[in-house]
Amino acid sequence: MAEHQRNRRMFDRFGLVAGYTTVEVRATAGMHASQSGHAYDISEGGIRLELDAALEAGDTVDVLVGLPGHAEQVSVAGHVAWVDEEEGHLSPRRMAVQFDAFGTPDDHRRLCAFLGRSMRLAA
């Protein structure tokens, strides 16, 4: 397998039912309002999500993820790794956030417990 085709992810991704995994995202710099959206997949190291308005790659963000089927949420801090730059695509916008830190150790524990019950995506 060619070097560029190998899976470079450190953590396995787990699929989420689109539209049912809520996220609240707030850029930590500037006067950005919080945005609501939903997630497509998640791992211990990041999340792919969709918001009505794109953030910029590199923006630092706080993310609150609702865990489907649970009353629990997970709080993480991270940065926008990429934004879907599909030409003519105005809204909503897909992007990925790489996690830098969990709000608390319990947030990390809750996410890992949830992922242990979720379906893994193919690489």
Domains of the chain, CATH where assigned? 12-115 (2.40.10.220)
Residue with tokens 């089927």: 69
pLDDT score for 9: 65
- The C-alpha atoms of residue 19 and residue 45 are separated, in whole angstroms, by 21
Over the stretch 79-93, which tens digit does the pLDDT of each residue have?
Answer: 999 998 775 566 789
In the chain, which stretches have pLDDT less than 50?
A: 1-6
pLDDT score for 12: 86
pLDDT score for 33: 80
pLDDT score for 111: 94
How many CB atoms neighbour CB 86 within 10 A?
9
pLDDT score for 59: 94
SS3 call for 115: helix
Nearest CA to 97 out of 75, 115, 82, 114 is that of 82
pLDDT score for 120: 64
pLDDT score for 6: 47
